Amino acid sequence: MVLNQLGIGIAITGSGSATPEVTLDNRQLSQMVETSDEWITTRTGIRERHLSDTEGSLKAIATKAAERALAMAGIAPKDLDLIVLATSTPDDLFGSASQIQASLGASQAVAFDLTAACSGFVFGLVTASQFIRTGVYQNVLLIGADVLSRWVDWSDRSTCVLFGDGAGAVILQAQEQDNLLGFELRSDGNQNSCLQLEYKAQKQEIVKGVVVGQGTYRPIAMNGKEVYRFAVQKVPEVIEKALFRSNITAEEVDWLLLHQANQRILDAVAQRLSISGEKVLSNLAHYGNTSAASIPLALDEAVREGKIQPGEVIAAAGFGAGLTWGSAIFRWGK
């Protein structure tokens, strides 16, 4: 695969993240449904999650994350050519990216939403990079943000313990050296029923003989065991493929940055790839599964903690509803 046909490469020059202030810990959850801190911690590694209240919006946390990423990259909102918002939970079903564009004051940028559930950030990274590689755009803001708490059934203990809200963002810029080394994206709609946030229509006869559907969405429904099996099998495969395309071996990976769904999945994938535990980035104890936000949120924390250094190789992988999964291998910084 020739990635850099026009001699234009990608640099990831800034990151930012934001989460709502309100937190819900496992002890509080065990007052709501029949569960325990011990069950949640041993099965998932999650201890608490941040939740958006009714005043909060996807736009608010996404804008905050974006502003932080812009500040780190040292560019102004008006320098942005493109904004891609990876989300499954927009404030507006017509899309929320343009509202974020307006709140940032990114007057020159075109903005759109992209939906690929928990794979959204990786899919967004690859999508955004195409516009840079073709020479069309130079400065791109990619946001992964989700407020899944809006669609959780808080009486379903098998799902409500897993999810949290958050936003993460990165700035992608054109440069000569290509730091997006390779990628692989996959989907399989045959397994769609494993994990859904499905439209639920109620019939409404608007005029005799014309019945339309009106309604809302059903809460998140998941076959946890199937998704777990899928993740542990498919994620190592897709990372191996992306590493192969990048001409990088697993030993050369500095950081494994997986969608933060479950610590057991992170550990199993690392073990399959023979990547040691110290190289696995994990912050899910404090945020739960924040869907499209989880990868940039963990990335931003690791960058700000000084763990990730410029030039280091990161193997990122997302997986989730669709089903979708994908991996991108990149070097941090210019």
- The binding site for ligand ACO (CB under 6 A) comprises 35, 39-40, 43-44, 117-118, 157-158, 161, 195, 224-225, 227-228, 231, 261-262, 265, 289, 291, 320-321
Residue closest to ligand ACO when measured from CB atoms: 320
CB of 40 vs ligand ACO, minimal distance in Å: 6
Q: Please pick, among 118, 139, 160, 179, the residue that the annotation labels catalytic.
A: 118
Residue 118 among the catalytic residues: yes
State how far the Cα of 292 lies from the Cα of 148, in Å rounded to an integer. 10
Return the number of the residue (137 or 163) whose C-beta is nearest ligand ACO. Answer: 163
Q: What angle do CA 67, 71, 72 make, to 5 degrees?
A: 120
Return the number of the residue (51 or 265) whose C-beta is nearest ligand ACO. Answer: 265
Return the number of the residue (40 or 83) whose C-beta is nearest ligand ACO. Answer: 40
Return the number of the residue (180 or 284) whose C-beta is nearest ligand ACO. Answer: 284
217 burial type by CB count under 10 A (0-12 exposed, 13-18 middle, 19+ buried): middle
Return the number of the residue (35 or 103) whose C-beta is nearest ligand ACO. Answer: 35
Return the number of the residue (157 or 304) whose C-beta is nearest ligand ACO. Answer: 157
CB of 219 vs ligand ACO, minimal distance in Å: 12
> For 26-109, where are the E strands, in sequence order?
48-50, 82-86
Residue 179 among the catalytic residues: no
Largest Cα–Cα distance of the chain, in whole Å?
67
Query: DSSP readout, 128-184?
Result: HHHHHHTTS-SEEEEEEEEEGGGG--TT-HHHHTTB-EEEEEEEEEEESS--EEEEE
Q: Please pick, among 26, 179, 262, 289, the residue that the annotation labels catalytic.
A: 289
Residue 213: what residue type? G
CB of 161 vs ligand ACO, minimal distance in Å: 4
User: Alpha carbon 142 to chain centroid distance?
Assistant: 10
Tokens 């073990």 correspond to: 271
Q: Please pick, among 50, 259, 262, 286, the residue that the annotation labels catalytic.
A: 259
CB of 133 vs ligand ACO, minimal distance in Å: 28
Could you tell me if 45 and 72 are in contact, meaning their C-beta atoms sit under 8 angstroms apart? Answer: no
Residue 259 among the catalytic residues: yes
CB of 181 vs ligand ACO, minimal distance in Å: 25
Cβ-proximal residues to 151 (8 Å cutoff; 6+ apart), any chain: 89, 197, 217, 219, 220
- Give the dihedral sign, CA 220/222/224/230: negative
CB of 62 vs ligand ACO, minimal distance in Å: 17
Query: DSSP readout, 210-263?
Result: EEEEEEEEPPPEE-HHHHHHHHHHHHHHHHHHHHHHHT--GGG-SEEEE--S-H
Enumerate the active-site residues. Answer: 118, 259, 289
